[in-house]
Amino acid sequence: MSIGFIGAGNLARAIVLGILKKGVFSSQEVSCISGSGKTARALSLEAGIRLSSSRLELLNQSNTVILAFKPQHLDTITEEEGNAAKGSLLISVLAGRNLPSLRSAFPLARNVVRVMPNTPSRIGKGVSAYCFENPPTNDDREIVESMLGALGASYEVNEPQMHIVTAVSGCGPAVFFQFIDFVAQAAETHGLERSLATQLAIETGIGSLELMKQSGQLPSELVDEVVSPNGVTHALLESLKSADWSETIHKGIYKAVNRSEELSRPAG
Ligand SMILES: NC(=O)c1ccc[n+]([C@@H]2O[C@H](COP(=O)([O-])OP(=O)(O)OC[C@H]3O[C@@H](n4cnc5c(N)ncnc54)[C@H](OP(=O)(O)O)[C@@H]3O)[C@@H](O)[C@H]2O)c1
């Protein structure tokens, strides 16, 4: 088995360190290459993996290839490089690049997989959605699932669902970060230090989400457990409802889906 990473930045690093730690692949089986070579050299040194001398060499020597550069770099793949992935499993984490555009760059790959990870993947707490171009063999499914397992949880979806998945789990971390910041800003105006308010909000978020996951209760049931009639939480939630919180989120998700659809359409 040989697995090659084209792009050796944040996400590739998270995957490489994760799969080596879990023993999914050995360091001798993994190689990488980057644009300037800087990140690939650093990752090769840190993880003890092979540094390829060119993208073509990596493509010729790998039977699984992970595309982990920026989405626009897909257009720099030459015909020779694309054809060098003959018989390989091609896995892409590029935002907004759909299966047909990946297939067109790598026409001879044995199968193509599109993955939408999210930023908590950097600490192994991410969630990824993935779709295969063609029904996978058991071995290929195993490769994809064990690789994504290094980043956190993973779920298979249909390609058309990738837009809404992008809105929910791809953009989701930014929504949570922004929410924490708004809470901390508001708390500061009531005399709590911003750093302490941020910590309280972070720990509240971690605890609440873990409770929701472990209890298996519906979000609405957990809301009811916190709210007492005319109490403090009731006052807070009523204020949010009167500002049409739900409608605001619906609109945000709608805009994100639209933008994702727009970005995945070929230019011109
Ligand atoms: N980070 C996330 O959590 C996350 C979440 C969802 C999706 N993604 C997707 O994951 C991909 C990588 O994101 P990232 O955060 O890891 O980016 P990043 O840290 O900026 O890394 C980008 C990598 O691409 C390399 N590169 C640049 N030009 C290249 C070229 N022409 N050929 C080969 N490699 C080239 C860079 O190499 P040098 O710097 O050494 O030149 C670097 O190793 C993106 O497509 C993004 O859409 C990331």
140 and 175 in a common domain: no
Instruction: Give the nearest ligand 1 atom to 96 CA.
Output: 47
Q: Is the CB of 121 under 6 A from ligand 1?
A: yes
**Host domain of residue 90:** 3-157
Instruction: Give the nearest ligand 1 atom to 40 CA.
Output: 40
Instruction: Give the nearest ligand 1 atom to 12 CA.
Output: 16
- DSSP alpha helix (H) spans, 111-171: 138-149, 162-165
pLDDT bracket for residue 268 (50, 70, 90): low
Query: How far does residue 232's CA lie from ligand 1's centre (Å)?
Result: 46
Percent over 70 (pLDDT), the chain: 99
Residues, the chain: 268
Residue of minimum CA distance from atom 32 in ligand 1: 35
How many angstroms separate the CA atoms of 197 and 99, rounded?
43
Q: Is the CB of 110 under 6 A from ligand 1?
A: no
**Beta carbons of 31 and 8 less than 8 angstroms apart:** no
**Beta carbons of 256 and 171 less than 8 angstroms apart:** yes
Instruction: Give the nearest ligand 1 atom to 118 CA.
Output: 5
What's the CATH code of the domain at 64?
3.40.50.720
Instruction: List, for residues 168-227, the tens digit of each pLDDT value.
Output: 999 999 999 999 999 999 999 999 999 999 999 999 999 999 999 999 999 999 999 999
How many angstroms separate the CA atoms of 16 and 18, rounded?
5
Q: 42 Cβ partners below 8 Å, 6+ apart?
A: 8
Instruction: Work out whether strand 111-116 and strand 126-132 pair parallel, antiparallel, or are unpaired.
Output: antiparallel
**Beta carbons of 112 and 99 less than 8 angstroms apart:** yes
Task: Name the residue of 5, 11, 65 whose CB sits within 8 Å of the most ligand 1 atoms, as the mutation to test its pocket.
Answer: 11
Q: Is the CB of 11 under 6 A from ligand 1?
A: yes
Q: Specify which residues 5 forms β-bridges with.
A: 32, 66
Query: What confidence score (pLDDT) does residue 267 get?
Result: 64
66 domain-assigned: yes
How many angstroms separate the CA atoms of 235 and 228, rounded?
10
175 and 77 in a common domain: no
Q: Is the CB of 68 under 6 A from ligand 1?
A: yes
7 domain-assigned: yes
**Beta carbons of 43 and 97 less than 8 angstroms apart:** no
Instruction: List, for residues 54-70, the tens digit of each pLDDT value.
Output: 999 999 999 999 999 99
82 and 41 in a common domain: yes
Phi, psi angles (nearest 5°) of residue 134:
-125, 155
Q: Which of 100, 131, 157 is the last residue of a domain?
A: 157
Q: Is the CB of 20 under 6 A from ligand 1?
A: no
Q: Which of 134, 157, 180 is the last residue of a domain?
A: 157
Is residue 246 pLDDT above 70, yes or no? yes
pLDDT bracket for residue 264 (50, 70, 90): confident
Q: Which of 157, 184, 199 is the last residue of a domain?
A: 157
For 200, 211, 218, the CA distances from 233, given in Å and listed in that order, are: 16, 18, 18
Domain count within the chain: 2
**Which two three-digit tokens encode residue 84?**
């060098």
**Beta carbons of 31 and 61 less than 8 angstroms apart:** yes
**Beta carbons of 145 and 136 less than 8 angstroms apart:** no
